[in-house]
């Protein structure tokens, strides 16, 4: 991982990310959205900060009773600090001075535009 200091110098690690929030980290999905997991883990390891990823609300609606998951996806999302995306949730996280991870391209970007039926509605 690399980050950029205030003077523009690129450094290895997360030293360029403020320890105090609110912090909004904006990125683009790579690798079918699996890039989120090492990023969240690095924030925990290096900075001892929970990085709250804003996730598509439909991920929280999976009926795991009918699926064959050893560990339900929703539990993994919650353990990682994920929150369903909405304008209200984003505002609340920033108001609490949290570190927030946002991928504006969402699921379409994560799946490289192969899904056309999912969209986000901000409330």
Cα torsion for 18, 30, 26, 116, to the nearest 10°?
-160
- Looking at the structure of the chain, the number of domains it has is 1
115 within a domain of the structure (yes/no): no
Order of strands, edge to edge, in the sheet holding 23-26? 23-26, 99-102, 51-55, 83-84
Give 70-103 pLDDT, tens digit per residue: 566 677 778 888 888 899 999 999 999 999 998 8
pLDDT band at 117 (very low <50, low <70, confident <90, very high): very low
Give 3-47 pLDDT, tens digit per residue: 999 999 999 999 999 999 899 998 876 666 677 788 888 999 999
64 within a domain of the structure (yes/no): yes
106 within a domain of the structure (yes/no): yes
Which domain covers residue 76, as residue numbers?
26-110
């Amino acid at each position: 991982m690399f980050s950029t200091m205030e003077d523009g110098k690129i450094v290895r690690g997360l030293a360029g990310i403020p320890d105090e929030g609110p912090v909004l980290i904006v990125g683009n999905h790579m690798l079918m959205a699996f890039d989120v997991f090492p990023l969240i883990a690095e924030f925990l390891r290096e900075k001892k900060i929970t990085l709250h990823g804003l996730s598509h609300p439909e991920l929280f609606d999976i009926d795991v009773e009918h699926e064959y998951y050893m560990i339900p996806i929703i539990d993994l999302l919650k353990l990682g600090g994920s929150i369903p995306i909405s304008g209200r949730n984003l505002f609340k996280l920033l108001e609490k001075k949290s570190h927030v991870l946002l991928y504006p391209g969402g699921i379409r970007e994560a799946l490289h535009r192969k899904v056309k039926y999912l969209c986000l509605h901000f409330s």
